[in-house]
Structure 1
Amino acid sequence: MLKKLLAAVLCLSLSGLMAAAHAGDAPAAPKQSAEQFLASLNFQQGKITLQDNIATLDLPATFRYLSPADTERVLVDAWGNPPGAKSLGMIVPAKVSLLERAGWGVIITYDEDGHVKDGDADSIKYDELLKEMQQSVLDNNAERKTQGYPAVQLVGWAERPSYDKNAHKLYWAKELAIDGAASHSLNYNIRVLGRKGVLVLNAIAGMGQIAEIKKEMQHVTAFTDFTPGQRYADFDSKTDKAAEYGIAALIAGGVATKLGLFGKLFAFLLVFKKFLLMGVIGLVAMIAKFFGRKSKVNLDK
């Protein structure tokens, strides 16, 4: 059952999102320098309350937050993603520019599909789960190629899944490879389980940044939590809906239900698009396209 679910999720997500990455050019936006773009963003610090008071971020000085509107500007105007994806904002490192090669961010979304029971956490065989995920990706490569998109390979765990039962926080990382790209991509995932759903945090970076991201995401895990009343322990079986999947499904393919709601799979979109831009047409070309003054961006940091 799980293998069929994996195949369906990966087929829909990867082929569909790769199509988005190859979509036709949108009308050109007015050009501005990288400095002007960054100056127009409202970087917030300290304690942040996310939309609808669902969760909070207690940011240390090393991190900043961007609103959903500013996040979309970064994703679309700076990183070249198609518009329209919804988020609760983005967490970014304070000392690294979003427009540098070393730039990265953590996209925040929320899936209110029900309370995820964690009873399967101790029984998951992660090596077997990885093999099924890898095979599902390979099985769908033929279809992706017929549509004109490069093949994808799930190389393996960049960090093996781990679940904190006391905090109800799950994290893992995947290493992805795309045919024709010089470097591999990193997809680092955090899931915070709550009363009615799951807070989704996905770091977008390259595999060369794995040591830094692994360290920094531990901080992100610690300062992110649901507000009182929305936490895992607040679940009321008499009034609240239970999700139809467990921990294994979260890892396997994002939020997925038998109703066909395969989740946002937001990280795939960002990883693939940003990675394709960086690895195939080049980061310099991307900056030149959106800002017109590539000399203003230091690519050596």
Structure 2
Amino acid sequence: MKKLTILAFLLTIFHAFSQADSTDINIELDEAAYQHIMDSINNSYTFQKGSIPLGNDLATLHVPEGFKFLDAEQSQQVLTELWGNPPSETMGMLFPEDISVVGDDFTYAIEITYSEEGYIEDDDADDIDYDELMEDMQESAVQENKERSKLGYPTAEIVGWAAEPFYDQSSKKLHWAKEIKFEGMEMNTLNYNIRVLGRKGYLNLNAISDMDKLPLVQTNIDRVISSAEFNPGNRYSDFNPDLDEVAAYGIGGLIAGKVLAKVGFFAALLKFWKVIAVGIVAVFGTLRKRIFGPKNA
């Protein structure tokens, strides 16, 4: 059975439970069968450790201790076929080594992508007022919510920084986190961003999870930040002003989404990592509880 077929089957069951009392539904699925399905999905993926080449000699990922890496092809399957995201280019994903791709033990995963949008000048890094920048992003989100409501999409509010931006001048690495409240969701969403600056663009390492996972993400974030680096010839220090293009924005624009005026903040957010993935993954844990009751009950 294909992974997409399994996903559709499980979501059909979940929908049935959401529409009626569980005592009125006869589903021939015991816990062993459910677990077999979940194990079949999770065991179908092959993870790697060690040093992983990214792109065509573009960069290298040194899989940090406590993590496992899923290559680009398999990650694309997870993001699109299993989690229901639109197709997009990805270099792979990092998962904590003790969690499954789907299941009630899922906490978070980190997608790795590359954006070749030019050399980002960092002259403004020390001058940014991050409180003011947050206010600007919040105001933009409020304006965009008007259009989202008209189109029938749930609104989304940027609550604030979950972790204030920090830029390391020596390593040319930037990271920050936002707390986002989506309409209809009980738990606020954590959007954790890491950017590694290079000669012609930057690596994106993005994690999205629930806000209660922030301490867990922060426990491991230093190892994740240090795990990715550009190869010689593609590093920030290799920039050649006579050959290379300079991006139209700096550090502040990178944090703000840089294309707010063109596509809106949340469109930019979804470009990097689709929020729907969190909801789809959560379904499996909720489904299990609805069918069998709380674990270890």
What TM-score does the superposition give when structure 1 sets the normalisation length? 0.79
Shift of 1:278: 6.0
User: Contact conserved, 1:55 with 1:226, CA < 8 A, in 2?
Assistant: yes
Q: 2:5 aligned with 1:30, yes or no?
A: yes
Shift of 1:265: 3.5
Shift of 1:28: 9.1
User: Contact conserved, 2:3 with 2:81, CA < 8 A, in 1?
Assistant: no
Q: 2:195 aligned with 1:170, yes or no?
A: no
Relative to structure 1, the CA distance from residue 268 to residue 179 in structure 2 (aligned partners, 3 Å threshold; closer, same or farther) is farther
Identity between Structure 1 and Structure 2 (%): 36
How far, CA to CA, are the matches of 1:249 and 1:108 in structure 2?
A: 20
| 2:95 corresponds to which of 81, 92, 104 | 92
Shift of 1:124: 0.4
How far, CA to CA, are the matches of 1:53 and 1:266 in structure 2?
A: 27
Relative to structure 1, the CA distance from residue 87 to residue 263 in structure 2 (aligned partners, 3 Å threshold; closer, same or farther) is farther
| 1:48 corresponds to which of 42, 45, 52 | 52
What are the ranges of 5 or more consecutive residues in structure 2 without an aligned counterpart? 8-36
SS class of match (1:110): strand
How far, CA to CA, are the matches of 1:72 and 1:202 in structure 2?
A: 15
Paired position in structure 2 for 1:273: 276
- 1:83-122 correspondence runs (5 A): 84-101=87-104, 102-122=106-126
Superposition RMSD in Å: 2.9
Paired position in structure 2 for 1:160: 164
How far, CA to CA, are the matches of 2:148 and 2:259 in structure 1?
A: 21
Paired position in structure 1 for 2:32: none
What TM-score does the superposition give when structure 2 sets the normalisation length? 0.80
What are the ranges of 5 or more consecutive residues in structure 1 without an aligned counterpart? 1-26, 289-293
How many residue pairs get aligned? The number is: 263
User: Contact conserved, 1:185 with 1:205, CA < 8 A, in 2?
Assistant: yes
Deviation by residue 1:23-80 (Cα, 9 ceiling, x = unmatched): xxxx993328221122111201101011211111112341111111111111123322
User: Contact conserved, 2:137 with 2:265, CA < 8 A, in 1?
Assistant: no
Q: Which has the higher contact order (CA 8 A, sep 6+)?
A: 1
- 1:180-191 correspondence runs (5 A): 180-191=184-195
Deviation by residue 1:204-261 (Cα, 9 ceiling, x = unmatched): 21101000101212111111110111111011111111111100011001x5499989
Determine which structure has more spread, i.e. the larger CA radius of gyration: 2
How far, CA to CA, are the matches of 2:103 and 2:84 in structure 1?
A: 14
